[in-house]
Amino acid sequence: MVKITLAFGGGMEILFNNTKEREIELPDNVVNMKDLIAYMKDNLLQERPELFVLNDTVRPGIIVLINNCDWEIEGNLEYQLENGDEITFISTLHGG
Amino acid sequence: MSNELNNLLEENKNLKRKIRELEEQLNNQTVAQKIKKEEKVSNKYVLENSNYDIPELVKKEELSNDEKIRYSRQMLMRNFDADCQLKLANSSVLIVGAGGLGSTAILYLGSAGFGRIGIVDDDVVEGTNLHRQVIHDETKIGMSKALSAQETIKRLNSKCECYVYKELLTRENAISIMKPYDIVIDATDNVCATYLINDACVLSKKVLIQASALRMEGQLSVFNYKNGPCYRCLNPVPPPAEAIGKCNVNGVLGVVPGIMGCFQALEAIKIAAGLEASYSQKLLIFDGEIGKIRIVKTRPKQENCSVCGKNPTVTSLIDYEDFCHMKKCEIKTDITSNNSNNNRITCEEYNDIMKANKPHILIDVRPNEAFKMSSLPNAINIPKLELANNAEKIKELMKKKAEEANEKKVPLYLLCRSGVTSTNSIPILKEHGIDCKDIIGGLLEWKAKIDPNFPIV
């Protein structure tokens, strides 16, 4: 079973039970980022899915990191999740 | 005797009061005169009316002896020598925004030895700014932020040329304002300005140091630096308007934008001095609550970027409010408020209900932190996100209240800060079979119409 750490920031934590970091065990059918986002939407998200997903990916304005690296470099939705991965969702901030 | 003493004491009291009043008057006059004088003196450095031409920065061959002494402590470093300091003296930086980020950025850039700095801000100083916008102070309330920052810099470092623009950076003026500067700092507080500044920097080939802060978190990156990515490479599509948090709603801990502004100043100093920037194609993500700083690698410059890519579609500045759906958002709020007026009551109507002691329930749907800071005396707090889970509790409350009042049903009213969240909460309760109305304009309107002392801004 694959175990990963989810991390949230920039306000994304509010949608996920106000936790900034949590470990989860993934069901066998969750193998890549696309599956993970769908799984999170159906099982972990508390409110307002429109603030998390849009057209089967994350909405614009969310920075997604795979082990502290922009997910765009790591293969985006197709990235295959591995045991011990840290996946981070951080909303871009606009304030100053 | 005691009568005489009492009279003297009374007279003394009156005289003291009069002295206080006169002192206050005098003080107000000097402040007003001072501001007027400062505005006059600094006139040459205030650019307006679409005339943004400034003389070219006079390049120095060598630092003066005064400069060598003044900056000696930072020129003693192994990797920051006299050549670096001279490069600063021959460099210029433009800071867009003299708010929370801009305050510390401007203070450090003004002190560092830059030959020239520019400050753009159309806003005026307010009391609620002072916990984080430390370049301003109580005597500056009501004054232009750009002028206030300029005044501080003049006192701090009279040798630093400080130009100010007391206006909003727009698609019309951005390129001309940026033109004479080497580096641009985005210290603004909104997504439209960030895209505008990014595009203008790409089009006029300027390095951009961008940062933002909210609550206890901050983000920073350097864009358009040595073939690195621009803001659009990372964020090709702006976020939906409803997903954007603002300082006046979500709050911000004063020191956090200050920290991010310091990082911006540091990067600007390094770049101007000819050292390597640290956050190009990298993103600094700061979380002051858990004390964590992540520095993450981002994607490189994107070939298909609409402004800095191979075949750009954005070749001149566009309508950024439209691009960031800000117009649509305003209209949407309008429609909601117009369409469902039968679901809403005014502050005056609610005030009558309260004064007449009519049985009802008032739920304040703002977050718990906002409610704790200020609320109406009879309100109960159930934040919008928790309404659905508390539907049964609300029904029971209404039943109990109706029984107490010996009535079949009592009305339920929803309240928030501005009337948007409360309106959007009505359908949530409707779904659970609960009828309710909300109060138009929320607590801001309550403050404007009913209780001017209500502590909300």
Q: pLDDT tens digits for B77-94?
A: 889 999 999 999 999 999
Q: B308 and B419 in one domain? A: no
pLDDT for the residue numbered B331? 40
Tell whether B192 lies on the interface with A, counting CB pairs under 8 A. no
pLDDT for the residue numbered B120? 98
Residue B416 annotated in active site? yes
Q: How confident is the model at residue B243 (pLDDT cuts 50, 70, 90)?
A: confident
Per the domain annotation, does B312 fall within a domain?
A: yes
The residue of chain B nearest to residue A52, with distances taken between CA atoms, is B243
* Mean pLDDT (whole number) for A78-96: 96
Q: pLDDT tens digits for B372-403?
A: 989 999 999 999 988 988 999 999 999 999 99
pLDDT for the residue numbered B35? 62
Per the domain annotation, does B113 fall within a domain?
A: yes
Encoding tokens for residue B299? 């994607």
Full residue range of the structural domain in which residue B416 is found: 335-449
Listed residue (A29, A33, A9) closest to A21, CA to CA: A9
Q: Which residues of B touch A63 (CB under 8 A)?
A: 234, 283, 285
- Between strands B282-287 and B292-297, the pairing is antiparallel
- Of A85-94, B32-41, B235-244, B360-369, the poorest mean pLDDT is in B32-41
Residue B347 phi, psi (nearest 5): -60, -40
* Mean pLDDT (whole number) for B141-154: 96
Cβ pair B222, B301 in contact under 8 A = no
DSSP-derived 3-state class of residue A85? coil
The residue of chain A nearest to residue B99, with distances taken between CA atoms, is A96
Nearest CA-CA distance, residue A60 and chain B, Å: 5
Q: B303 and B356 in one domain? A: no
pTM of the entire structure? 0.80
Q: Which of B285, B302, B329 is the last residue of a domain?
A: B329
- Which of B131, B196, B237, B285 is the best mutation test for A, with the most CBs of A within 10 A? B285
Q: B245 and B153 in one domain? A: yes
pLDDT for the residue numbered B41? 54
Looking at B201, B305, B308, B416, which residue is catalytic?
A: B416
- Between strands B344-345 and B437-439, the pairing is parallel
Per the domain annotation, does A30 fall within a domain?
A: yes
Full residue range of the structural domain in which residue A38 is found: 2-91
Residue A17 phi, psi (nearest 5): 65, 25
Encoding tokens for residue B441? 């304009």
Beta strands in B22-110 (DSSP E): 92-96
Cβ pair B212, B235 in contact under 8 A = no
pLDDT for the residue numbered B27? 78
Q: Which residues of A touch B194 (CB under 8 A)?
A: 94
Between CA B222 and CA B264 the distance in angstroms is 9
pLDDT above 50 (res B339): no
Looking at the DSSP bridge assignments, the partners of residue A56 are: none
Q: pLDDT tens digits for B100-127?
A: 999 999 999 999 999 999 999 999 999 9
Tell whether B101 lies on the interface with A, counting CB pairs under 8 A. yes
Q: B370 and B293 in one domain? A: no
pLDDT for the residue numbered B42? 52
- Between strands B161-165 and B183-186, the pairing is unpaired
Contact assignment for A61 to B260 by CB distance below 8 Å: no
Q: pLDDT tens digits for B28-75?
A: 777 666 666 555 555 789 998 888 999 999 999 999 999 999 999 999
| Domain CATH code at residue A79 | 3.10.20.30
Q: B411 and B364 in one domain? A: yes
Q: pLDDT tens digits for A19-50?
A: 999 999 999 999 999 999 999 999 999 878 88
Q: Which of B302, B329, B356 is the last residue of a domain?
A: B329
Q: pLDDT tens digits for B17-40?
A: 898 888 888 877 776 666 665 555
Contact assignment for B245 to A61 by CB distance below 8 Å: no
Per the domain annotation, does B6 fall within a domain?
A: no
Q: To the nearest whole percent, how much of chain B has pLDDT over 90?
A: 77
Q: pLDDT tens digits for B177-191?
A: 999 999 999 999 999
In one letter, which amino acid is B426?
Answer: I
Number of domains in chain B: 2
Tell whether A55 lies on the interface with B, counting CB pairs under 8 A. no
| Domain CATH code at residue B375 | 3.40.250.10
Cβ pair A11, A29 in contact under 8 A = no
Tell whether A18 lies on the interface with B, counting CB pairs under 8 A. no
Contact assignment for B215 to A63 by CB distance below 8 Å: no
pLDDT for the residue numbered B334? 44
Per the domain annotation, does B73 fall within a domain?
A: no
Q: B340 and B293 in one domain? A: no
* Mean pLDDT (whole number) for B445-453: 93
Per the domain annotation, does A96 fall within a domain?
A: no
Between CA B335 and CA A53 the distance in angstroms is 25
- Between strands B361-364 and B379-381, the pairing is parallel
pLDDT for the residue numbered B342? 78
Contact assignment for B214 to A65 by CB distance below 8 Å: no
C-alpha angle with apex A44: A42 to A45, nearest 5 degrees?
75
Per the domain annotation, does A69 fall within a domain?
A: yes
Contact assignment for B218 to A51 by CB distance below 8 Å: no
pLDDT for the residue numbered B169? 97
Residue B192 annotated in active site? no
Q: Which residues of A touch B325 (CB under 8 A)?
A: none
| CA–CA distances in Å: residue A69 to residues A64, A78, B210, B443 | 8, 15, 19, 43
* Mean pLDDT (whole number) for B286-310: 96
Residue A3 phi, psi (nearest 5): -110, 130
Q: B304 and B221 in one domain? A: yes
Contact assignment for A95 to B214 by CB distance below 8 Å: yes
pLDDT for the residue numbered B338? 43
Tokens 């996946």, located at residue:
A87
Per the domain annotation, does B5 fall within a domain?
A: no
| Domain CATH code at residue B269 | 3.40.50.720
Tell whether B235 lies on the interface with A, counting CB pairs under 8 A. yes
Looking at B192, B247, B262, B329, which residue is catalytic?
A: B247
Contact assignment for B189 to A95 by CB distance below 8 Å: yes
pLDDT above 60 (res B330): no
Contact assignment for A60 to B238 by CB distance below 8 Å: yes
Q: pLDDT tens digits for B185-211?
A: 999 999 999 999 999 999 999 999 999
Per the domain annotation, does B75 fall within a domain?
A: no
Between CA B264 and CA B94 the distance in angstroms is 12
pLDDT for the residue numbered B333? 47
DSSP string, B316-327: S---HHHHTTHH
Give the distance between the most distant pair of CA atoms in chain A.
43
pLDDT for the residue numbered B124? 96
Tell whether B189 lies on the interface with A, counting CB pairs under 8 A. yes
The residue of chain B nearest to residue A76, with distances taken between CA atoms, is B299
Q: B410 and B262 in one domain? A: no
* Mean pLDDT (whole number) for B332-352: 71
Nearest CA-CA distance, residue B291 and chain A, Å: 12
Cβ pair B279, B271 in contact under 8 A = no
- Please report the residues numbered 6 through 65 in chain B whose beta carbons come closer than 8 angstroms to any beta carbon of chain A: none
Q: Taking all residues of chain A, what is their mean pLDDT, rounded to a whole number?
A: 94
pLDDT above 70 (res B336): no
Between CA B428 and CA B437 the distance in angstroms is 12
- The H-assigned helical ranges of B204-339 are 231-234, 247-250, 255-272, 320-323, 326-339
Q: B409 and B271 in one domain? A: no
* Mean pLDDT (whole number) for B294-306: 97
Tell whether B194 lies on the interface with A, counting CB pairs under 8 A. yes
pLDDT for the residue numbered B43? 73
Task: Report yes or no for ipTM above 0.90.
Answer: yes
- Which of B197, B299, B384 is the best mutation test for A, with the most CBs of A within 10 A? B299
Between CA B107 and CA B102 the distance in angstroms is 8
Q: B368 and B319 in one domain? A: no
Listed residue (B242, B33, B252, B31) closest to B129, CA to CA: B252
Q: B261 and B237 in one domain? A: yes
In one letter, which amino acid is B395?
Answer: K
DSSP-derived 3-state class of residue B246? coil
Per the domain annotation, does B69 fall within a domain?
A: no
Neighbours of B232 (CB within 10 A): 23
Q: Which of A61, A68, A96 sits opposite B235 (nearest CB)?
A: A61
Contact assignment for A60 to B242 by CB distance below 8 Å: no
Number of domains in chain A: 1
Sheet with strand B361-364: strands edge to edge = B344-345, B437-439, B412-415, B361-364, B379-381
pLDDT above 50 (res A61): yes
Q: Which of B243, B246, B287 sits opposite A91 (nearest CB)?
A: B243
- Please report the residues numbered 298 through 337 in chain B whose beta carbons come closer than 8 angstroms to any beta carbon of chain A: 298-299
The residue of chain A nearest to residue B253, with distances taken between CA atoms, is A96
Between CA B108 and CA B127 the distance in angstroms is 23
Per the domain annotation, does B68 fall within a domain?
A: no
Contact assignment for B257 to A72 by CB distance below 8 Å: no
